[in-house]
Structure 1
């Protein structure tokens, strides 16, 4: 594939099964897409995985590109942005897997790998239960479910500032309640 083919021509060639065209498109945009991913994720291995996924999607779905909706560069950037946001949410959820089980309705929540931490987890669950419902709701969406404050605002249909205020209040209450517990247990 000649280097003088424009981006749209490369996408058309990719849609027709031209692997060299995919390589050329990769060479043109991989560094810009990596930079975008690094700003969002900050982990080179994660970003490389996402970049691979984006170009795999380009290979499989090149025929869906519509020039009337934007340039190839924009199409690629939007795909990268979307995949990095998805990955960031997944990474947050994976980091919170041990805490994601903090279901205030579940009596079976445990931390099996460290029996000594059972009491700490039970106390955390108790403290979360003590929060007012409006604070638990925001804390649950943003911290335990990995939503951004903006997403929580949209899901709850309340102003963004209210979400941030409630989240700050929830954190303060948790710190105070946990601090009181630790101070009283020594």
Structure 2
């Protein structure tokens, strides 16, 4: 049976030039990175290019990378930067407005296996509609916090916010959703956790 490495050990192997470590990192993280990228770019080929470039750079720079014990966080942050750079370089978007609703998309699969009861199904439809009324930044912070389960330090760095700013943005996003759905915060959190995957 193959030995399973924790993030710190796996990253250390990469830093030492272990190509198998890079393959393992790629295999473990490609799917969530791809889904995150698609929420920002809506272009499958462009997202795959950004991911490809991310992993090529990872390998090319493996000797100079800093240690980490949270590879997913590191990769999400790097992918986000790659996508922003891609948008600027390709000039597909005139000015990247990170506050616009166009930057990050968060749609839910209302047929999810988690939604078995009619009442829950209706709540999911309502949640999906409410999410569409949030700003791109609010959608992104909900995704990072409740779907990728990142802490506020990690979110702040990825989204280029202070930790206090990340807390405020998250609180505003949750409050906006709570008001749109006319439910209490506990119920909202339960719904978000139920649709995580």
Shorter-chain TM-score: which interval? 0.3 to 0.5
Report the structure number with the largest CA radius of gyration: 1
More helix by share: 1
Q: Which has the higher contact order (CA 8 A, sep 6+)?
A: 2
The TM-score, its normalising length taken from structure 1, stands at 0.47
Provide TM-score, normalisation by structure 2.
0.45
